[in-house]
C-alpha cells in the first residue's frame, strides 16, 4: 500500500469514526475514565518506577474494573505467577525503554506467557499516552474494516513477521489516525470500541478462512461485553454459539475432533467438502429457532460458520473453515440428529495444503487381523434431495489434499481387495485378474476390478466410514455416470464401523441408480430401511 493510499484511507477512516462517535458519544464512560487510569498507572509503569514495582500493582492493573473496553486484561494475571518477579521487571524495563527498537521490546515481553498484544500495548499506552496506541482484536478488526491493515508485512517470501514487527506498523497507523481525528490515543481506542460495538453485522465477514482463533479471541471480538470463562458460559468450547450481530444473527459451530461424551462419533470434513455434524442431545427435540436457523440457508438473516480443532482446552485454537450451507438431515441416531453441511468455500480451501483433525488412521493398510463382515442391506437407496436441487450440491474436488480422509479410504479399499481375493481363491484364473484400479487411475469411476465366481466383471466402488450403517456417503458425478453406464456390474461396497484393529462391516449395493432425474455434481446417498 503506497503512502498516498494510506493517507487517503486514513482521512476516510477518520471521518467514519468521528461520525460514529457523534452518534454514540461516550456511552460506556471509557473516555471519562482516562484521567483516572492514566493518573494511577502512568506512575506505576513509568521507567523510573519499574525497579520499585510490586507484582501486586501489576495484578491490580489487570483487574482494573473501570477498563470496560479492556476486559481481557483480568484473565491473564495468573500467568504472572509462573514467572519470577525479577524476570517480569527485567522485561518490563526493556518494554518501556524507548531507546530500544520497538520490535525487540515487544517480542521480548511476549516471552512472558499470557502477555500478548491486548496487555502489552495498553501498558505502553498508560506509560506513554501520546506515543502508543492499543493493538487488540477490536482495534485490529477496526483497522481491517476501515482499509488500514497494511499487508506489506506479508513480504514476497511470505514469511510470518513477529508481533513486534506488526505492531511497529499498527502503532504508526494509530498515531496518524489520532492526529487526523484530533483526538488522543486513549480516545481513539474508545472510539474504535464504539465502532466495533455498533457495527457487529460486519464483524464475522472479516474472519479469515484457515486462520486459527482461540475461543478467548472470538469472545473478545464478538462478545466483548461478556467476561470469557474457559469451558463454561457462552463460549464453552463445543456446540453452537449464537452471536447477535444486530441486523443478523450468526451461529458459530464449534467442532472438537476428540470423541467426548457429547459426541456420538468424530465429526469430519469429507474430502469433497461436506461436514457431517451430530447434534448434542439437548437439541434433539422439535424445531427450535436455532435448528430452524441452521437449516434455513438465509445469509441475510443468519449464517452458520464452522470452526474446528483437534483437541479441547482453552490453549488449543480453532481453525475457521468458513460459512456452511445446509444440505440434509438424517434422523438415524438415537437421541441426536445428524446434519450434513457443505463448505461454501471448499473449492478454495481444497487447493491449499491443510489438515483437519480427523483421528489418525495410521498406515494406509489395515492391521493383519482386520477382517470384513458382510451384512445384508435392509434398505433401499433414496434420493434425499428431490428433483432439481442442483444448487445444493457442491462440485467434487479432484484435489484430495486431506490425507487423513484419503488414508481412511485406502484402508477400506485394502479390506475389500483382500475380501475379493479370499472369495476367488478357488478360481486362480480370476484371482490373477483382480486389480486395484484406483491406484493407477483416479478417474476410472470405481476402485477395484473383480469378478463374480461365474467370471462376470465387477466394478467395485468402495466407500468407508467410521460411522454406523446408516451414515450417508457421497458419489461424484464421474462415479454416478460410471454406475449408470455399467448397470449390472457396478457395485458399491459400503464399509462402515471401520476398525483398524479388529473387524469392520460392509454391505453391497448394486443395480440402477437412476432415481435421480437431473445431472448432479455430487450425489449424497442415504440407506434408509424399507
- What is the C-alpha to C-alpha distance for residues 167 and 152, in angstroms, rounded to an integer? 13
Strand partners of residue 324? 304, 343
- Same domain (yes/no): 216, 247: yes
- What is the C-alpha to C-alpha distance for residues 129 and 136, in angstroms, rounded to an integer? 16
* Residue 250 vs residues 149, 211, 351: alpha-carbon distances, Å: 25, 18, 27
Q: What is the mean pLDDT of residues 226-242?
A: 74
Question: Given pLDDT bands bounded at 50, 70 and 90, which one contains residue 359?
Answer: very low
Q: Kindly state whether residue 299 falls inside one of the protein's structural domains.
A: yes
Q: Kindly state whether residue 364 falls inside one of the protein's structural domains.
A: no
The total domain count for the chain is: 3
- Same domain (yes/no): 333, 391: no
Task: Report the CATH number that the domain containing residue 253 is assigned in CATH.
Answer: 2.30.280
- Same domain (yes/no): 396, 495: yes
Q: How much is the pLDDT for 26? A: 87
CA angle 427, 428, 431 (to 5 degrees): 90
- Same domain (yes/no): 402, 341: no
Q: Kindly state whether residue 389 falls inside one of the protein's structural domains.
A: yes
Domain limit, last residue, from 164, 198, 232: 198
**113-122, 313-322, 430-439: which is most confident:** 430-439
163-181 and 185-197 are packed helices; what angle lies between their axes, rounded to 10 degrees?
90
Q: What is the SS3 assignment for 131?
A: coil
Q: To the nearest whole percent, how much of the chain has pLDDT over 70?
A: 71
- Same domain (yes/no): 177, 40: yes
Q: What is the SS3 assignment for 151?
A: coil
Question: Given pLDDT bands bounded at 50, 70 and 90, which one contains residue 225?
Answer: low
Higher-confidence position of 405 and 249: 249
CA angle 351, 356, 357 (to 5 degrees): 170
- Same domain (yes/no): 155, 8: yes
Q: Kindly state whether residue 70 falls inside one of the protein's structural domains.
A: yes
Q: Kindly state whether residue 246 falls inside one of the protein's structural domains.
A: yes
Q: What is the mean pLDDT of residues 474-481?
A: 84
- Same domain (yes/no): 49, 149: yes
CB 329 within 8 A of CB 336: no
**141-145, 178-182, 214-218: which is most confident:** 178-182
- Same domain (yes/no): 274, 319: yes
Dihedral sign computed on CA atoms, order 49, 50, 54, 58: positive
**153-157, 319-323, 339-343: which is most confident:** 319-323
- What is the C-alpha to C-alpha distance for residues 383 and 526, in angstroms, rounded to an integer? 8
Note down the domain range covering 130.
Answer: 3-198
Domain limit, last residue, from 154, 175, 198: 198
Domain limit, last residue, from 349, 380, 400: 349
Whether residue 388 is predicted with pLDDT greater than 70 in this model: the reply is no
Q: How much is the pLDDT for 437? A: 94
**Out of 142-146, 287-291, 434-438, which region has the weakest mean confidence (pLDDT)?**
287-291
pLDDT tens-digit series, residues 60-101 = 787 765 555 565 555 455 566 677 888 888 999 999 999 999
Q: Kindly state whether residue 57 falls inside one of the protein's structural domains.
A: yes
CB 265 within 8 A of CB 278: yes
Whether residue 350 is predicted with pLDDT greater than 80 in this model: the reply is no
Written as one string, the DSSP assignment of 459-520 is EEEEEE-SS-TT--EEEEHHHHHHHHHTTTTEEEEEEES--TTSEEEEEEEES--TT--S--
- Chain centre to alpha carbon of residue 321: 4
Q: How much is the pLDDT for 304? A: 92
Q: Kindly state whether residue 449 falls inside one of the protein's structural domains.
A: yes
Q: How much is the pLDDT for 456? A: 95
**113-122, 287-296, 378-387, 457-466: which is most confident:** 457-466
Q: Which three cell numbers stand for residue 311?
A: 483437541
Mean pLDDT estimate for the chain: 76
Q: pTM to 2 decimals?
A: 0.53
HEC profile of 298-321:
CCCCCCEEEEEECCCCCCCCEEEE
Question: Given pLDDT bands bounded at 50, 70 and 90, which one contains residue 3?
Answer: low
- Same domain (yes/no): 150, 92: yes
Secondary structure tally for the chain: helices H, strands E = 16, 16
pLDDT tens-digit series, residues 152-161 = 444 444 456 7
- Same domain (yes/no): 514, 386: yes
Written as one string, the DSSP assignment of 156-225 is TT-PPPPHHHHHHHHHHHHHHHHHHHT--HHHHHHHHHHHHHT-GGGTGGGPPTT-EE-HHHHHHHH-TT
CB atoms within 10 A of CB 212: 13
* Residue 147 vs residues 36, 121, 403, 438, 471: alpha-carbon distances, Å: 33, 21, 37, 48, 45
Q: Kindly state whether residue 434 falls inside one of the protein's structural domains.
A: yes
pLDDT tens-digit series, residues 19-71 = 989 998 988 888 888 888 888 889 989 988 988 888 788 877 877 655 555 65
Q: How much is the pLDDT for 519? A: 44
- Same domain (yes/no): 418, 494: yes
Strand partners of residue 506? 374, 495
**Out of 79-88, 113-122, 182-191, 276-285, which region has the weakest mean confidence (pLDDT)?**
276-285
- Same domain (yes/no): 30, 150: yes
Residues 6+ apart with CB under 8 A from 125: 132, 133, 134, 185, 186, 189
Amino acid at each position: 500500500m503506497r503512502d498516498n493510499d494510506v493517507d487517503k484511507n486514513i482521512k476516510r477512516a477518520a471521518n467514519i469514526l468521528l461520525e460514529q462517535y457523534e452518534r454514540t458519544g461516550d456511552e460506556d464512560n471509557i473516555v471519562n475514565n482516562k484521567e483516572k487510569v492514566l493518573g494511577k498507572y502512568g506512575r506505576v509503569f513509568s521507567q523510573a518506577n519499574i525497579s520499585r514495582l510490586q507484582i501486586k500493582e501489576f495484578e491490580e492493573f489487570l483487574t482494573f474494573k473501570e477498563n470496560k473496553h479492556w476486559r481481557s486484561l483480568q484473565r491473564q494475571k495468573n500467568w504472572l505467577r509462573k514467572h519470577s518477579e525479577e524476570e517480569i521487571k527485567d522485561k518490563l524495563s526493556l518494554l518501556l525503554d524507548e531507546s530500544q527498537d520497538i520490535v525487540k521490546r515487544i517480542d521480548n515481553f511476549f516471552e512472558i506467557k499470557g502477555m500478548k498484544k491486548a496487555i502489552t500495548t495498553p501498558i505502553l499506552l498508560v506509560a506513554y499516552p501520546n506515543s502508543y496506541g492499543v493493538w487488540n482484536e477490536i482495534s485490529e478488526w477496526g483497522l481491517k474494516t476501515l482499509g488500514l491493515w497494511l499487508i506489506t508485512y506479508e513480504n514476497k517470501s511470505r514469511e510470518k513477521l513477529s508481533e513486534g514487527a506488526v505492531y511497529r506498523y499498527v502503532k504508526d497507523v494509530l498515531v496518524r489516525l489520532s492526529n487526523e481525528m484530533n483526538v488522543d490515543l486513549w480516545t481513539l481506542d474508545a472510539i474504535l470500541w464504539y465502532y466495533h460495538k455498533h457495527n457487529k453485522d460486519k464483524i464475522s465477514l472479516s474472519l479469515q478462512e484457515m486462520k486459527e482463533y482461540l475461543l478467548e479471541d472470538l469472545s473478545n471480538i464478538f462478545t466483548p461485553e461478556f467476561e470469557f470463562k474457559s469451558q463454561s458460559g457462552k463460549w464453552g468450547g463445543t456446540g453452537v454459539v449464537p452471536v447477535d450481530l444486530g441486523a443478523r444473527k450468526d451461529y458459530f459451530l464449534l467442532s472438537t475432533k476428540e470423541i467426548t461424551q457429547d459426541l456420538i462419533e468424530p465429526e469430519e470434513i469429507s474430502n469433497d467438502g461436506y461436514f457431517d455434524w451430530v447434534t448434542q442431545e439437548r437439541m434433539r427435540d422439535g424445531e427450535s429457532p436455532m435448528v430452524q436457523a441452521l437449516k434455513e440457508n438465509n445469509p441475510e438473516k443468519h449464517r452458520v460458520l464452522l470452526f474446528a480443532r483437534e483437541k479441547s482446552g482453552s490453549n488449543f485454537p480453532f481453525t475457521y473453515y468458513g460459512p456452511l450451507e445446509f444440505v440434509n438431515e438424517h434422523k438415524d441416531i438415537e437421541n441426536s440428529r445428524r446434519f450434513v453441511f457443505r463448505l461454501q468455500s471448499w473449492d478454495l480451501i481444497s487447493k491449499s495444503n491443510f489438515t483437519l483433525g480427523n483421528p489418525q488412521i495410521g498406515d494406509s493398510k489395515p492391521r493383519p487381523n482386520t477382517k470384513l463382515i458382510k451384512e445384508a442391506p435392509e434398505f433401499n437407496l433414496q434420493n434425499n434431495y428431490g428433483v432439481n436441487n442442483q444448487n445444493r450440491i457442491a462440485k467434487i474436488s479432484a484435489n484430495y489434499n486431506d490425507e487423513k480422509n484419503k488414508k481412511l479410504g485406502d484402508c477400506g479399499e485394502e479390506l475389500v481387495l483382500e475380501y475379493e481375493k479370499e472369495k476367488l481363491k478357488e478360481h486362480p484364473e480370476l484371482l490373477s485378474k483382480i486389480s486395484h484400479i484406483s491406484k493407477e487411475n483416479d478417474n476410472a469411476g470405481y476402485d477395484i476390478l473383480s469378478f463374480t465366481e461365474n467370471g462376470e466383471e465387477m466394478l467395485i466402488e468402495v466407500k468407508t466410514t467410521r460411522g454406523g450403517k446408516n451414515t450417508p456417503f457421497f458419489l461424484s458425478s464421474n462415479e454416478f455416470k460410471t454406475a449408470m453406464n455399467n448397470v449390472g456390474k457396478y457395485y458399491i461396497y459400503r464399509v462402515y464401523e471401520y476398525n483398524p484393529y479388529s473387524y469392520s462391516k460392509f454391505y453391497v449395493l448394486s443395480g440402477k441408480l437412476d432415481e435421480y432425474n437431473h445431472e448432479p455434481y455430487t450425489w449424497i446417498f442415504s440407506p434408509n430401511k424399507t
